[in-house]
Structure 1
Amino acid sequence: MRDALYEFAALIGGKLNVASASRLGDLLGRGMWRMLPSRRALAVSAIAERLGVEPDEALRLARESFRHNARSFIEIMLTRRMDLRFIRERLTFADPERVRFLAETPRPVVFATAHLGAWELQAGSLNVYPGKRKVIVVRRPKDRALHEVMTRLRTRPQVDVVPHRQAVMPVLRTLRKGGMAAFLVDHNCTRDEAVFLPFLGRLAAVNVGPALLAVRAGALVVPGFLVRSTGNGYVQHFDEPLDTETLQGDRDARIAATAAFYTEAVERYVRRFPEQWFWMHRRWKTRPPEEDALSPS
C-alpha cells in the first residue's frame, strides 16, 4: 500500500510545473510549521543563537525556512524537467565564466552543496555539463520504497545516484575518468565519519567523506548553491575551486583543509541566505569527544 502511495505521488508530482510546485510547497511549509512544534522551536532557537538576531527576526526566518524547505521536498518532482530549455528559462548563473571553465576542464570535480535553496534541483542543473559522467551521493532513507522512488526521480542520463555508504568506488571511478561528483556536506554525522570544525560559531561534526574522496582523486572542489530568486527563478552560485593537488601536508592535513574549505563556504551562504537553509535539522547534535570529559557524570 505504501509503495503504491509513493508511486501515485510521483505520478501526480510529475505533472507539476514550477509555479504549482511553488504553491504546493508553500502550503506544505505552512502545514509543517503548525504540525511540528518541536522542529519549529529548534529552528527558532538555532537561528537566534547562531545568527545573534532578535526573537521576532528569528521567528520570521524560521517560518520562511520551513516554506523554502518544503518547496525543496516538492521540487524533487521537477528534477526530470530540468533540461536545457528549463535551465535557459529559469536559471541565472552568477558567474557564467566559471560554468564554462567547469564544463571544459579535464580535471575531476567535486561539487559541495548544502540543504540550502533548491538543493533537490541541483541534480538537474548538472545537465549544463553534457558529456561528463556525474554521480550524486545521497543519504538513503530507512524506507526502501521511498528510497527507490526518490532515486528514480533524481537519476538522469549520465547522472547516477548512490547511497553515501556505498559511494567510495562509484565516486572514485567517476572522478578518475574526469567526471563530477556532488555531495550535500552540511549533514550532522557520527564521530567516526567526522572532523570537528567551527560552523556558525560552534563546533560541528563535518563529514570528511567528500574531502577524502576529493583528495584521493586529486579533484577540484567547488562549492555550489542553487538559490531561489524572484518570480520562481533560480540563481546558480559557484565559488572559486579549491585544487586539492596544491594542498600541503600529509593526507590527514589535506583532508581537514578540504573539509574546512567547504564548511566555510556553506557558512557564508547560510549567513547570506538564512531563510533558505534547513534550520530544523539538528546540525550540532554530535559533539566532540572532549566535551564528554567535561560533562557531569
Structure 2
Amino acid sequence: MRELLYEILTSAGRRMNFEQTARLGNALGGLLWQALPGRRKLAVEAMVRHLGISKPEAGRLAKESFRHNARSFVEIMVTQRMDPRFLAEGVTFADPERVRFLAETKRPVIFATGHLGAWELQTGSLGAFEGKRKIVVVRRPKDQALHEVMMRLRTRPMVDVVPHRQAVMPVLRILRKGGMAAFLVDHNCTRDEAVFLPFLGQTAAVNLGPALLAVRARALVVPGFLVRAEDGRYVQHFDEPLDTASLEGERDEKVQATAEFYTRAVETYVRRYPEQWFWMHKRWKTRPPEEDGQPRA
C-alpha cells in the first residue's frame, strides 16, 4: 500500500513546476506547524537558546522554518528539472569566479552543506560542473519503499547517490579521479561517528566521515548552500575552499581541523538565514562522554 502511495505522489510531483512546489510546500509547512506542537516547541526553544532572540521572534522565524523545510521535502520531486536552462534562469551563483575555478580544477572536491535552504535541489546545482563525476551521500530512511523512491528522484546523469553507510569506497573512487562528493554535515550522529565541537553556542556531535574522506583524498572542502531568495529564485553560495593537502600535523589533527571548518561554515549560514534551517530536529541530542550522568538541558 505504501509503495502505491509513493508512486502516486511521485507521479503527481513530476507534473509540478517550481512555483507549484513552492505553494504546496508552504501549505504543508503551515499544516505541520499546527499538527506537530512538540516539534514546534523544540524549534522555538532552540532558536531562543542558540540565537539569543526573544520568544515571539523565535516563533515567527520557526514558523517560517517549517515552511522552508516542507518546501525542501517537496522539491525533491523537481530535482531532475534542474537543467542548464533552469540553472541559467532560476539560480544566481554568488561567486561566478569560484564556480569557474571549481569547474576547471583537477583536484578532488568535497562539498559540505546542511539542511538549509533548498538542500534537495543542490544535486541539480552540481550540473554547473559539466563533465565531472559527482556522488551525493545521503542518510537512508528506515522505510525501504521510500528509500527507493527518493534514490530514483535524486539520481541524475553523472551524479551517483549512495547511502552514508555504504559511501566510503564509492566516494574515494570518484575523488581519486578528480571528481566531486557532497555531504550534509549538520545532522546529529552517534558518538562513534562524532567529534564534539561548538555549534551555535553549545557542544554538538559533528560527523567525522566527510573530514576523514577529505583528508584521505587530499581534497578541497567547499561549503555550499542553495538559499531561497525573496523573489522566488535561488542563490547558490560556494565559499572559499579549505585545501586539506596544506594542513599540518598528524592525521587526527587534520581531520579535526576539517570538521571544525565545515561546522563553522554551517553556523555562519544558519545565523545569516535562521528561517531556512531545520530547527525542528534534535541537533544537540548526542552528548560528549564527559556529560554522562549530568542533567540534560
TM-score by length of 2: 0.99
Contact kept, 8 Å, 1:109 with 1:222, in 2: the verdict is yes
1:125 alignment partner in structure 2: 125
Corresponding residue for 1:28? 28
For residues 157 and 55 of structure 1, what CA distance do their matches in structure 2 show? 45
Cα contact 1:18–1:232 (8 A) shared by 2: no
Question: Match of 1:80?
Answer: 80
What amino acid is the match of 1:87? Answer: L
Match of 2:160 in 1: 160
Q: State the superposition RMSD in angstroms.
A: 0.9
SS in 1 for 2:231: helix
Matched with 1:203 is: 203
Does residue 222 in structure 1 map to residue 227 in structure 2?
A: no
Partner of 2:269: 269
The question of whether the paired residues in 2 share the 8 Å contact of 1:82 and 1:124 is answered with: yes
Distance 1:74 1:231 in 2: 19
> Residues 53-98 of structure 1: CA distance to partner in whole angstroms, max 9, x if unpaired?
0111000010000000000000001100000001111000110000
Matched residues, percent identical? 72
Within a 5 Å distance, the mapping from 1:22-171 to structure 2 comes to 22-171=22-171
Q: 2:258 matched to 1:258?
A: yes
The number of residues matched between the two structures is 296
- Could you tell me which runs of 5 or more consecutive residues in structure 2 were left unpaired when the two chains were aligned: none
In 2, Cα distance between the equivalents of 1:58 and 1:133?
41
Deviations 1:89-138 (A, max 9, x none): 10001100000000000000000000000000000111111110000000
Residue of structure 2 equivalent to 1:232? 232
Tell me which stretches of 4 or more aligned residues in structure 1 moved more than 3 Å: 293-296
Cα distance, 1:230 vs structure 2: 2.1
Query: How many angstroms apart in 2 are the aligned matches of 1:55 and 1:79?
Result: 35
1:174 counterpart = 2:166 = no
Counterpart of 2:188 in structure 1 is: 188
Residues 191 and 288, structure 1, Cα contact 8 Å, conserved in 2: yes
Q: State the distance in 1 between where 2:272 and 2:231 align.
A: 19
| Whole-angstrom distance in 2 between the partners of 1:129 and 1:81 | 16
5+ residue gaps, structure 1, are none
Give the partner amino acid of 1:160. D
In 1, Cα distance between equivalents of 2:77 and 2:133 = 22
1:232 deviates by 1.6
Cα drift, residue 295 of structure 1: 4.9
Partner of 1:5 in structure 2? 5
- Deviations along 1:118-164, one digit per CA (max 9) or x if unpaired, are 00000011111111000000000000000000000000011000000
What SS does the aligned partner of 1:232 have? coil
Displacement, 1:231? 2.4
Q: Structure 2: which amino acid aligns with 1:70?
A: A
Q: How far apart in 2 are the matches of 1:212 and 1:130?
A: 26
CA distance in 2, matches of 1:15, 1:224: 28
Distance 2:127 2:236 in 1: 13
Deviation string 1:152-210 (CA, Å, 9 cap, x unpaired) is: 00000110000000000000000000000000000100000000000000000000000
1:293 is displaced (CA, Å) by 4.9
The TM-score, its normalising length taken from structure 1, stands at: 0.99
**Cα distance in 1 for residues equivalent to 2:42 and 2:229:** 26
Q: Distance in 1 between matches of 2:7 and 2:147?
A: 12
- Tell me the SS of whatever aligns to 2:195: strand
